[in-house]
Amino acid sequence: MRSRLYCIIARSLGPSILEEKPVHALSQTPLPGLQKQFEVASRVGELQEQVSVAIREANRLRGQLQSLRPKVETQKTLADALAALERRTEAMAGAAPGNNPEFEGVGTPSAPDRTSLRFLSGALGELERAVESADVAPSTDVLTAFARDQQAVRKALAQWNEIKNKDLPRLNSLLRQANLPGVSIDQPKL
């Protein structure tokens, strides 16, 4: 079943008289091109949401690991495990953006890690702008960038899941052995 896209436009008689017209009637782009644009934009949005969830989880994990650091500094095995997880989480999430927009780029590496969640979030934002910049079918370059970014996101999320499902339980086991509370990436309940 073909979905029909509609928008409401006001006639020249005034905004009180409205008329529905198919979007493709207002555009030079054939309906299949607009449908492809909508499909790619939707898929980019889904990827952006997945990456955003992972970034929020990584931020929560980093915060908890930092608060645990003073409690485990005298226990070498535990301190080493915590530091290793902290480094891996930091590498996976990517560097946090600066606080002052006037100093944007100051102190950031010259070659950002193109596999980090933050980098991929930015790349997806650029891709979203390219897809939605006009009512046209996505260009070959946009589709190539989407395929590349989609593959990179899948790989990054697989690595993040490995951290969550292997590294974090290992650390929590060590924390329990030391009679310390475990670490969780779950959203705190309000």
Percent of the chain with pLDDT over 90: 61
Would you state the pLDDT for residue 97? Answer: 57
CA 118 to chain centroid, in Å, comes to 7
Burial class (CB in 10 A: 0-12, 13-18, 19+), 54: buried
Q: What average pLDDT does this structure show over 103-128?
A: 76
Would you state the pLDDT for residue 187? Answer: 77
In a domain, 12, yes or no: no
pTM: 0.76
**Residue pair 47/153 in contact by the 8 Å Cβ criterion:** yes
In a domain, 40, yes or no: yes
Q: What average pLDDT does this structure show over 88-98?
A: 83
Q: Helix and strand tally (H, E) in the chain? A: 6, 2
Domain hosting residue 91, numbered range: 29-177
pLDDT in tens, 62-85: 999 999 999 999 999 999 999 999
Provide the domain count of the chain.
1
